[in-house]
Amino acid sequence: MYSLWHPDFVLEAWHTYLTYVLITWFCVLFCIFGNRFLPLLQNIGLFLLIVGGVVTIIVLAATPNAHASSSFVWSDWQNTTGWSGGVAFLTGVLNGSFTIATVDSVSHMAEELPNPRRDIPRAIFAQVSLGAITAFLYAVALFYAVSDLDKVINTSGSFPAAVIYRQATGNAGGAFCLLLIIFLIIMICAISTVLSLGRTWWALARDQATPFGGLFSSVNEQLSCPIPATILVGVLVTGLGAIILASGTAFNDLVGSFIVLCAFSYLLAIFPHLISGRKHTPKGDFWMGKYGFVVNALGCVLIVFFNIMFCFPYAMPVSADLMNYNSVVLVGVLVIVTFWWLIYGLKHYPTPKVLTEAMK
């Protein structure tokens, strides 16, 4: 946003890290002291997503002096990755995954909802369907607004959409307003992410699955927040973010690896459920019966396939700057989790208390 008025600005790693730290701890403090405002914040986020999305699409469609051709949007294929067309397309699915990837996020709030058996599946469906529809319409409008693809590809900044907004509106002010919509939505998403992570760590600590479970399972009833778990999230995120000071490529891969890690975590839940005959999970309001076997099996196959594709290098020939380290992150996380399970989990971790009570 700053670079719209300062085209010669060069983004340094410390600029990114400083902004990253400030946003992280703002979100942590909001989750701790602003818990009562979270329902209102989510309503504002939904409003910005829908109304802001519609406004952005209208501006991108109406303001450009010249639009890209329909052939450019729908049929032309420009592959600059060095991969074959099929591999380039399949690895590019990663970009679309960001719009609907973390379908489990809302489930971490299950114990704070009045009827989670019904409300959680509905919320997940709303997230995926709304994300898919808005992302498709936004992408179409964005492509039609491109007037100089080379500038978009070769931008010196880290946000090519800013270049497209500038091309569409013809001025920095218009582009800034459109970017402000994205910024506000991302801020609300960041708060929701910290909130979800804090609750997740708290739930694991409550079931003695983490170090210092007694500390991180505590909840401040006055603030309605697991403060130690939420602060730990801020500390871990701050520490991991420092990677950008050493390697921007490694940092980007670490940030992007949540798609692979989330998908793999879904596989760890779905595959045992499938091979056990789907007998050990209580039936909810949306139980699919025999069709559930097909859906679960297809989900497992797609997760394995796309996780492999998402670990391919971004371009050929491969260099250190173009290497994809998602596979390294995945293996590293598996090693750490397996090690912790062997030395601690086998002796101290019980079955999840909520699931055990539901099974009874």
| Structural domain boundaries, residue 218 | 1-67+102-246
Q: What is the pLDDT of residue 17?
A: 93
Q: What is the pLDDT of residue 9?
A: 78
pLDDT tens-digit map of 64-94: 988 898 998 898 888 878 888 888 888 888 7
Q: Are residues 160 and 308 in the same domain?
A: no
Q: Same domain, yes or no, for 121 and 215?
A: yes
Give the pLDDT confidence score for residue 354 in this predicted structure: 54
Residues 180/182/185/188 CA torsion (nearest 10 deg): -70
Residue 262 lies in a domain: yes
Whether residue 172 sits in one domain with residue 42: yes
Same domain membership, residue 155 and residue 31: yes
Residue 112 lies in a domain: yes
Q: Does residue 165 share a domain with residue 46?
A: yes
Check residue 184 and give its pLDDT.
93
Which positions ≥6 away from 228 have C-beta within 8 Å? 215, 216, 218
Which of the listed residues 246, 274, 293 is the one where a domain comes to its end? 246
**Is residue 188 assigned to a domain?**
yes
Strands, DSSP E only, in 161-285?
A: none
The DSSP secondary structure of 282-338, one letter per residue, reads ---TT--TTHHHHHHHHHHHHHHHHHHHTTS-SSSS--TTT---HHHHHHHHHHHHH
- Which domain-ending residue is among 246, 267, 298? 246
Does residue 252 fall inside a structural domain?
Answer: no
Query: Which pLDDT value is given to residue 30?
Result: 94
175 shares its domain with 321: no
* 330 located within any domain: yes
> Taking the model in full, what pTM does it have?
0.78
62 and 193 fall within a common domain: yes
Using DSSP's 3-state secondary structure scheme, residue 78 falls into coil
Both 198 and 222 in one domain: the answer is yes
Q: How many residues are present in the chain?
A: 360
- Residue 74 domain-assigned? no
Query: Hey, what are 247's tokens?
Result: 């390697």
**How many whole angstroms separate alpha carbon 166 and alpha carbon 119?**
41
Picking from 191, 222, 246, the residue at the C-terminal end of a domain is 246
Give the per-residue pLDDT at 251: 84
Q: Are residues 35 and 147 in the same domain?
A: yes
Looking at the structure, tell me whether residues 242 and 141 fall in a common domain.
Answer: yes
The verdict on residue 78 lying in a domain is no
Nearest to 48, CA basis, from 177, 208, 218: 177
If asked whether residues 190 and 60 sit together in one domain, one would say yes
Structural domain count, the chain: 2
| pLDDT score of 158 | 61
Beta bridge partners of 220: 225
pLDDT value of position 157: 62
The per-residue pLDDT string of the chain (360 residues; one tens digit each, 9 = 90 and over) reads 777 777 777 778 888 899 999 999 999 999 999 888 888 988 898 888 889 989 999 999 999 988 898 998 898 888 878 888 888 888 888 777 776 667 777 776 777 778 888 888 888 888 788 778 888 898 899 999 998 888 888 776 667 888 899 999 988 889 999 999 999 999 998 998 899 889 889 988 888 888 888 899 999 888 889 999 999 999 999 999 998 888 887 887 888 788 888 888 889 889 998 998 888 888 888 888 889 899 999 999 999 999 898 888 878 888 777 788 888 888 998 999 899 888 887 887 776 655 555 555
Instruction: Mark whether 117 and 211 lie in a shared domain.
Output: yes
Residue 97 domain flag: no
